[in-house]
Structure 1
Amino acid sequence: MADFLTDQKKTSRALLVGVQTFDMASGEGAELLGELKELVENLGIVVARTVLVTMRAGEQPKFLIGTGKTAELIALAKEDECDLIVFDKELSPAQQRNWEEESGLAVIDRQEVILEIFADRAQTREAVLQVALARMEYSLPRLTRAWTHLSRQRGKGAMGGEGETQLEQDRRLVRDRIAHLKRELEQVLLQREVQRRRRMRKPVPGAAIVGYTNAGKSSLLNKLTGAQVLAADKLFATLDPTTRQLALPDGRTLLMTDTVGFIRRLPHRLVEAFKATLEEVVVSDFIIHVLDVANPNVEHHFATTMEVLGELGAAEKPMIIAFNKVDAADPQTLAVLRARHPEALFISVHTGEGLDRLLARCAELAIDDQMSAELLLPHDRYDLVAKLHQLGTVAEQDTRDDGVFIRGRFPLKQRALFEPFLAPAPTAPKRKPARPAAARAR
């Protein structure tokens, strides 16, 4: 598939097929179909027509839908001179083969589209390996398809020598490639783990920016930190995590990480493949959940992101909910969301509205991982005095005969650094024991 799409992007015409089942909310199929249209157009493919199929019965094993509707869709695709049919619902390998044999066209599903977008956008070595692994695992049971990108690569490089066209040889080659990618990925992840441990040893708190794709996460990071992360009006504009330093209002430093955007029906294998990227969410001190308040599906986006955070075990982390793009939202929608989410902040990265409140809230959550302490440091440890000013917030400092007294809040991560110098609690003067009543009478 990948080579087919790569070769045909500029000329391909696609028929998109959405599915509304009985267990879906009213209108959800149309919303997902609109999302699929944007995904396909991001690949440079022309969308000739979109069709929403209402499935009143269960899924059909051969074509997913009935044979009559199948024939109708194939006729529409050929009428529109399409060379590609894209389903919003996942197709089994057998269903894809049946569709391609019946239509003579390339037939793919939402998973394959997202995999291709990820392959286009991956930049770092880790992301490239993650995408390659996900694509190989997806393609393994689909090697007999007419348009599979693996069949087009036979006889090239590591994929095999001249004449290796049998299915079992292909499967062996793909399994070997998967094993090789996993070994490479293990090394990359080990390096990433070392880097993360080094960062975790630093006292600087961290926040992960999460949210539905295209909600404005990268724009927020750019606005607050002066970063130059790509912020484009398209799905999955950035895939690799980007971490930048932010100066909080009280002078402390916060590490902010922009993560890959979430999306409904994100292929599970991609959630697994990008676990290292999403790991930044798990290890962060708190989460900034950004939502596009101007999007009519904002509540669905909120639920999708919370669902993925739950899968990662991060849904219970301290969280700032920030509804972005208030400058583009209608007042009635804002009123409803304010009532439903009274704890949320309403901001505009474009105009700067509400960003001061967001920074103040970040400062509050960054303090939660600190402890109050009174310290007494020797006069020869002014290096530690300077470091404490850098690490935390010093409320009082007094030079005394027996050392330097400091009172403030300092990171719990650095407790081992300052614990030996905790000032002893002042002892109350000993009270003389009360004299017996008889003795007082004398």
Structure 2
Amino acid sequence: MADFLTDKPAKLERAFLVGVQTPEMPAGEAAELLTELKELVENLRITVAHSELVNLRRPTPSLFLGSGKAEEIITAAKALDADVIVFDEALSPAQQRNWEELSGLAVIDRQEVILEIFSDRAHTREATLQVALARMEYSLPRLTRAWAHLSRQRGKGKMGGEGETQLEQDRRIVRDRITHLKTELASVVKQRNVQRRKRQRVPIPTCAIVGYTNAGKSTLLNTLTGAEVLAADKLFATLDPTTRQLVLRGNQKLLVTDTVGFIRRLPHGLVEAFKATLEEVVVADFLVHVIDVTNPNFEQHHATTISVLGELGAGSQTMVTVFNKVDAATPEMIARARRLVPEALFVSALTREGLDVLEARCLELIAEAHATTELLVPHQRYDVIARLHAVGHVQSEEQLDDGVRLFGRYPPTQAAFFAPFVVKS
């Protein structure tokens, strides 16, 4: 788990988790988040030795918790042979360093856990670059953790102490790496934009599947399109966006993109780093928001997704809310879901229950977003018909005495070419 930026053991095996309930938080929220943190940590193949929930009136600058509580946690962690203490709160670089000096153990926070998971799961070049950038930006203010054992005294004259010199060297290395990653990422994003523009030349409608991590988004994509995206019962099973074509009734095509799942307290640096990937959300014609109806915290998951979409500038996108896993839901769960989103659809990506209703709703949204045009093309102008097939979508074609009547759509950039053949209503 460790790299050259950290002074943590090469392999962490046993974790002591610390959750914090503050007066500002709703009752029970910290316990729910701590349960989620346990699953996140286990995703890194680390055994959770114990989870402790602390009631905190106000954080302290040095350790976040009071010194007495900190000593108590450190003693308990060592008694359980834990080699890492994991906080569910974001620790400042100074707080993290103080905990490690006091305990002699590795100390990380929720943000670092999520960064490690993303690093483990990213596969495409873009996702790998985005995660590397987020990790570097997270590590830059924490470099002192790696050199706590070296001299921190400033030397006389122009030269600093041994640690100071090494620290400055590492800061330059990390800053240079961040600059390089941003340049490389900009190149990858440019390539993605070129690919997207090519897709947009053919006016095939697009939708993005969004939602909380482990809600069943990849399973839904697989069931709808016959794709083979990794779909596992764990958080962040897949990070890379996958686009597949779905053919609806009437030969209507729809490009469906599966996106990275959202999570409460998603590190802001990751939201920024993944902007390029999540642009698929912003440019989609509409969104399919998938919620696991069997999860006891689905209200919070719904709120988190809406919040992150707002951060991405996609808060006003047309959206279909879909409660998934109805095959395992109780009547009480369904009733709660209907109260939360009355117009929601209920499906099972596993059994295909309700998918016909979802596909019908997609057709309705496509019809609203892409108006169909009627054209009458003379028999001698089959080049016009061929072009409509190539750059647009033909819904129907009928041979008449005076030409061929077509109903279809084409990109706005082709409007001037097709204008002479448009039938005026």
- 2:198 corresponds to which residue? 198
Who is 1:349 aligned against? 349
CA contact (8 A) 1:106 1:146 kept: no
- 1:88 equivalent in structure 2: 88
Corresponding residue number in structure 2 for 1:159: none
Question: How is 1:219-258 mapped onto 2 (pairs within 5 angstroms)?
Answer: 219-258=219-258
Distance change in 2, residues 1:265/1:240 (3 Å): same
Residue of structure 2 in register with 1:432 after alignment: none
State the match for 1:289 in structure 2.
289
Q: 1:335 to 1:393 in 2, by over 3 A?
A: farther
Q: 1:396 to 1:123 in 2, by over 3 A?
A: closer
Aligned length: 406
Mapped contact 1:250–1:363 kept (Cα < 8 A): no
2:19 is matched with 18
1:69 maps to 2:69: yes
Asked if 1:332 is matched to 2:332, the reply is yes
Native 8 Å contact 1:100 1:146 kept in 2: no
Structure 1 residues 362-381: aligned runs within 5 Å: 362-381=362-381
Q: 1:397: how far off?
A: 2.6
Structure 1 residues 387 and 33, CA gap change in structure 2 (3 angstroms): same
The answer to whether the aligner puts 1:405 opposite 2:405 as a matched pair is: yes
* 2:53 is aligned with 1:52: yes
Deviation, 1:385, is 2.7
Aligned pair in 2 of structure 1 residues 53, 290: CA closer, same or farther (>3 Å)?
same
Output the TM-score relative to the length of structure 1. Answer: 0.87
Between the aligned partners of 2:173 and 2:367, the Cα distance in structure 1 is: 53
Q: Per the alignment, in what secondary structure is the counterpart of residue 90 of structure 1?
A: coil
Aligned to 2:315: 315
Deviation at 1:185, TM superposition (A): 1.1
Q: Which amino acid aligns with 2:10?
A: D
CA offsets 1:62-90 (integer angstroms, 9 cap, x no match): 00011110010000101101110000000
Question: SS of 1:133's equivalent?
Answer: helix
User: CA offset at residue 393 of structure 1?
Assistant: 5.2
Of residues 5, 8, 23 in structure 1, which corresponds to 2:11? 8
Task: Give, in whole Å, the separation in 2 of the partners of 1:424 and 1:256.
Answer: 33
Q: What is the Cα deviation at residue 147 of structure 1?
A: 8.8
Match of 1:434 in 2: none
Distance 2:131 2:164 in 1: 25
Please tell me whether the aligned partners of residues 251 and 395 of structure 2 are also in contact (alpha carbons under 8 angstroms).
no
Aligned partner letter, 1:20: Q
Q: What amino acid is the match of 2:59?
A: E
Following superposition, the deviation at residue 144 of structure 1 comes to: 1.1
After superposition, give the CA deviation of every residue in 1:301-328 in whole Å (9 maximum; x if it has no partner). Answer: 0000000111111121111110000111
Asked if structure 1 preserves the Cα contact closer than 8 Å seen for 2:252 and 2:395, the reply is no
The verdict on how the C-alpha distance between 1:338 and 1:44 changes in structure 2, with shifts beyond 3 A counting, is: same
Q: What's the secondary structure of 2:199's corresponding residue?
A: helix
**Distance in 1, Cα, partners of 2:14 & 2:133:** 28
Aligned pairs (5 A) from 1:374-389: 374-385=374-385, 388=388
Distance apart, 1:2 and its partner CA: 3.1
User: For 1:189 and 1:235, how far apart are their aligned partners in 2?
Assistant: 26
Identity of aligned residues (%): 65
The Cα shift of 1:189 comes to: 1.2
CA contact (8 A) 1:231 1:237 kept: yes
Q: Tell me the equivalent position of 2:298.
A: 298
Contact 1:122/1:131, CA 8 A, preserved across alignment: yes
Deviation at 1:254, TM superposition (A): 0.5
> What displacement does 1:383 show?
4.1
Question: What amino acid is the match of 1:174?
Answer: V
- Give the counterpart letter for 1:307 in structure 2: S
Q: What amino acid does structure 2 have at the position aligned with 1:410? A: R
Q: CA, structure 1 residues 416+7, in 2 after alignment: closer, same or farther (shift >3 Å)?
A: farther
Change (3 A) 1:6 1:389: farther
How far does the alpha carbon of each residue in 1:42-101 deviate from its partner, in whole angstroms, 9 at most, with x for none? Answer: 000010000011112x21000001111001000010110111000000000000000001
Correspondence for 1:261: 261
CA distance in 1, matches of 2:296, 2:423: 56
Residues 306-355 of structure 1 show CA distances to partners (whole Å, capped at 9, x for unaligned) of 00111111121111110000111111121222233221100011111101
Q: Tell me, in whole angstroms, the C-alpha distance in 1 between the residues paired with 2:144 and 2:329.
A: 49
Check conservation: 2:2, 2:9, Cα contact below 8 A.
yes
SS at match of 1:18: strand
Deviations 1:402-435 (A, max 9, x none): x3333x342554544532311345xxxxxxxxxx
- CA-CA distance at 1:280 after TM superposition: 0.4
SS at the partner of 2:10?
A: helix
Aligned to 1:181: 181
Q: Secondary structure at the match of 1:339?
A: helix
Question: Would the alpha carbon gap of residues 164 and 222 (structure 1) be closer, same or farther in structure 2, given more than 3 Å must change?
Answer: farther
* Paired AA for residue 64 in structure 1: F
- Pairwise CA RMSD of aligned residues? 2.0
Show the 5 A alignment for 1:404-423.
404-406=404-406, 408-411=407-410, 413=412, 415-423=415-423
* Paired residue type of 1:254: L
Cα distance between partner residues in 1 of 2:389 and 2:348: 33
**Gapped regions of structure 2 (runs ≥ 5):** 149-162
Supply the distance in 1 between the matched residues of 2:21 and 2:371 (Cα, whole angstroms).
Answer: 53
1:142 aligns with 2:145: no
- For 1:34 and 1:353, locate their aligned partners in 2 and report how far apart those are by CA, in whole Å: 30
Distance 1:384 1:199 in 2: 21
